Structure 1
Amino acid sequence: MALDLETRTALVDTVLRLVNETLIPAEDRVAREDAIPREIADIMREMGLFGLSIPEEYGGMGLSMEDECHVMMALGRASPVFRSLIGTNVGIGSQAILIDGTEEQKQRFLPGLASGEIVGSFALTEPGVGSDAASVRTTARREGDVYILNGTKRYITNAPTAGLFTVMARTDPTNPRAGGVSAFLVERNTPGLSIGKPERKMGQQGAHVADVIFEDCPVPAENIIGLQEGVGYRTAMKVLDRGRLAISASCTGFAERILDESAAYANERIQFGKPIGEFQLVQAMIADSYTDAYTARCMVLDTARARDAGEDISTRAAACKLFCSEMVGRVADRNVQIHGGAGYIADYAAERHYRDVRIYRLYEGTSEIQRVKIGRDVLGGAVR
């Protein structure tokens, strides 16, 4: 449901107040303690941020794609760790159920995801399966009214705290490709499911990833999404458009925040008797970052509006993800350069920003995967 302009503005302003008054001041603590304080997570739940994309009949806000992008740009000004907390609930965790789930599955799982009572996690990547997502090796063998899952999922966001996992597993061992993969909803307390030790990461401390291990894990047959085998990979691909746009919006918001910090530092840092912002080479870096961020905002909102209008935006969503994830890396790099030696010191936010944004070029499809998709679509005549 699209919000009227006044309501959307009020929602975005509320999110910006949360960002400026609560989230940004907490960033150093979150990075130091590698945890988001419970009171902050509770505020985000009370604001309904876990249910941005989930329809109102299931307890969410049911925002349009354009409205969601505006909110994500606002939230994205804070450390990406906060977006990560709600990301699966808003994106691939809930959307798989919405797009291909049965009504009973929607009624059963979506309200908890919308309220944030349940944290979602999307389990696709494996030790030997990354960009080649169709080569899933985790198996799901049917025995009566249950499927027995065996395998390991790797680098799974929110795994240590998740209450519901959307798991891709191979139900047809004779089909080694996408058609043999099915999607399952696996609850945290299921016997045979265990979580590995959280990984130490380059950035985004406070957002935890870990292995999810299935050892003779019995999952009720009623928990296969859509009650249909062999369509799990297609389900995963269907939800990527929205997820890639939401991530692109977050990249845009963070780039705009970093740009503001670059300009502020350039105005206050004195060298050779004047602010470094008066030197043309510094101005050039500021100009390039502004142009990058402005282009990203235009791309994302244009594509979001097209999706809301019912257009096929698969290629454009990939282009947004490619450009915005690379763009925020460039903006963060220029910010370090503008800060000079201070930008390399952990006491300054510039160093943390540089590390935090690096993951954007990897998850929900690496930049290389986006390029392959875009290139194939254009060469195949799917884009004009």
Structure 2
Amino acid sequence: MTADAARTLEAERLEQERMILDSIDRWLERDVRPQVMHLEHNDIYPDDIVEQMKALGLFGAIIDEEYGGLGLRPSVYAKIIERISTVWMSLSGIINSHLIMAFIVQRKGTEAQKRELLPRFATGELRGGLALTEPDCGTDLQAIRTTARKVGDHYVVNGTKTWISNGIKGSAFALLVKTDPAADPRHKGMSMFIAEKGDGFRVSRKLEKLGYKGIDSAELIFENYKVPESRLIGGVEGVGMACAISGLELGRVNVAARGVGVAQAALDEAVKYSQQRQTFGKPIHQHQAIALKLGDMATRVMASRLLTEQAANALDRGDRCDYEAGMAKLFATESAVENSLDAMRIHGGYGYSKEFVVERLYRDAPLLCIGEGTNEIQRLLIARRLIENNPA
């Protein structure tokens, strides 16, 4: 391909991506924002909005075009997630958990698995999420107890998964199990399956949450659940941890983008209110105490967005990006928490009222510091990579 042809192709791609982002913005303002307060306060799953998300192709956002997806770059996907999270963060979780599952299949699955599953993921016909966490195992994934025992041409799964996004409404999950509980090191005995709901696979309960309403979080029970050997991702045992890590790279970029969206929403609400509210004869943004908060909030948003773009661009290139994604996830999510609190303080008593958006942002933001690996773990990973890159 000539240089001119390459430039033309890149220009066409950028224009297509711009059009997609513009359509997302119009959809959010027209069909989502007017419903958010009602759905969120009543913890109602947004079935109608999910159908619209299917029609927009969002469940296939990063799935390659040859498998029926939009084939968007992770950097564009991150921008979509930021926009959605600025309006209602819960919707981003419905997409993210599903696309982590698709991302794992696209990166680690066999060609037969890709051709069977990805087109169904892309349309939203088959959607779900990631089943990693267990009641006694969160951060330490190697300590999971769910097992899969080979019997003929299938595996028999027993165990429990908890805090699984889309657990009730979803129909398939990337399920992390132990196929060799005695393996040393432990990760060598871990495998991952695409598990569709059926006999032996049930939802035990919906988990109630402080924030992150609308999206269902559930506990999943596997009792002698049979999954075909053909659903073993990659077709071999022992690569489950590698699958999980691959998916979590995308997940952390997604959570960072959510952090940017929530931080931006908090800033927008604070700026608007500071221009409307007056004390001592002038708008409160003219008071130094408020201006200082607004300055810090705007800086956090910009820094978070740049860190997230850097991590997403590394994913675009196919580079290892745990260092960049860890930094983006850490900083952007802490910024979301700080900005939501500052927005509440700027609103004063109204910030504590459920009639204002900032109350929801204040409840949603803390989840981001926990999900896809706690921020304490991100700090450790960043430090580890820092030492690896700078040997004594």
Q: Sort the TM-score into its range (normalised by shorter chain).
A: over 0.9
The answer to whether the Cα contact below 8 Å between 1:136 and 1:181 also exists between their aligned partners in 2 is no
The answer to whether the Cα contact below 8 Å between 2:45 and 2:216 also exists between their aligned partners in 1 is no
Q: What is the RMSD of the two structures over their aligned residues, measured on CA atoms?
A: 1.7
Query: Structure 1 residue 135: deviation in Å?
Result: 1.2
The answer to whether the Cα contact below 8 Å between 2:64 and 2:71 also exists between their aligned partners in 1 is yes
How big is each residue's C-alpha offset from its partner over 1:226-246, in whole Å with a ceiling of 9 and x where there is no partner? Answer: 111011011111222222112
- How far apart are the structure 2 equivalents of 1:30 and 1:59? 31
Matched, 1:301 2:303: no
- How far apart are the structure 2 equivalents of 1:186 and 1:282? 51
How big is each residue's C-alpha offset from its partner over 1:313-341, in whole Å with a ceiling of 9 and x where there is no partner? Answer: 22111111111111111111101010111
Matches within 5 A, 1:353-364: 353-364=361-372
Matched, 1:71 2:77: no
Query: Partner letter of residue 221 of structure 2?
Result: I
- How far apart are the structure 2 equivalents of 1:39 and 1:194? 25
- How far apart are the structure 1 equivalents of 2:326 and 2:305? 15
- How far apart are the structure 2 equivalents of 1:152 and 1:302? 36
What's the TM-score once normalised by structure 2's chain length?
0.94
Match of 1:315 in 2: 323
Match of 2:28 in 1: 19
2:343 to 335, 346, 359: 335
Match of 2:55 in 1: 46
Query: Structure 1 residue 303: deviation in Å?
Result: 2.5
Change (3 A) 1:339 1:197: same
SS at match of 2:168: coil
- How far apart are the structure 2 equivalents of 1:70 and 1:186? 30
How big is each residue's C-alpha offset from its partner over 1:327-366, in whole Å with a ceiling of 9 and x where there is no partner? Answer: 1111111010101111112221111110011111111111
Query: Structure 1 residue 107: deviation in Å?
Result: 1.3
Query: Structure 1 residue 58: deviation in Å?
Result: 1.1
Change (3 A) 1:104 1:310: closer
- How far apart are the structure 1 equivalents of 2:317 and 2:390? 18
Query: Structure 1 residue 204: deviation in Å?
Result: 1.4
Worse-superposed segment, 54-63 or 114-123: 114-123
Worse-superposed segment, 146-155 or 27-36: 27-36
Matches within 5 A, 1:114-133: 114-133=122-141
Query: Structure 1 residue 305: deviation in Å?
Result: 2.2
Query: Structure 1 residue 39: deviation in Å?
Result: 2.0
Give the count of matched residue pairs: 382
- How far apart are the structure 2 equivalents of 1:219 and 1:131? 26
The answer to whether the Cα contact below 8 Å between 1:80 and 1:357 also exists between their aligned partners in 2 is no
- How far apart are the structure 1 equivalents of 2:176 and 2:314? 29
SS at match of 2:373: coil
Matched, 1:376 2:384: yes
SS at match of 1:380: helix
The answer to whether the Cα contact below 8 Å between 1:75 and 1:83 also exists between their aligned partners in 2 is yes
Query: Partner letter of residue 55 of structure 1?
Result: D
Query: Structure 1 residue 50: deviation in Å?
Result: 1.0
What's the TM-score once normalised by structure 1's chain length?
0.96
Match of 2:69 in 1: 60
Match of 1:281 in 2: 289
Query: Partner letter of residue 15 of structure 2?
Result: E
Query: Structure 1 residue 216: deviation in Å?
Result: 0.7
Query: Structure 1 residue 257: deviation in Å?
Result: 2.0
Query: Structure 1 residue 374: deviation in Å?
Result: 0.5
The answer to whether the Cα contact below 8 Å between 2:62 and 2:69 also exists between their aligned partners in 1 is yes
Matched, 1:6 2:21: no
- How far apart are the structure 1 equivalents of 2:238 and 2:30? 47
Matches within 5 A, 1:78-227: 78-90=87-99, 92-175=100-183, 177-189=186-198, 191-227=199-235
Change (3 A) 1:37 1:377: closer
Query: Partner letter of residue 27 of structure 2?
Result: L
Match of 1:347 in 2: 355
Give the unaligned 5+ runs of structure 2.
Answer: 1-8
SS at match of 2:389: coil
The answer to whether the Cα contact below 8 Å between 1:135 and 1:178 also exists between their aligned partners in 2 is no
SS at match of 1:172: coil
- How far apart are the structure 2 equivalents of 1:23 and 1:258? 18
- How far apart are the structure 1 equivalents of 2:181 and 2:48? 46
The answer to whether the Cα contact below 8 Å between 1:345 and 1:351 also exists between their aligned partners in 2 is yes
The answer to whether the Cα contact below 8 Å between 1:252 and 1:296 also exists between their aligned partners in 2 is yes
SS at match of 1:44: helix
Query: Partner letter of residue 16 of structure 1?
Result: D
Query: Structure 1 residue 382: deviation in Å?
Result: 6.5
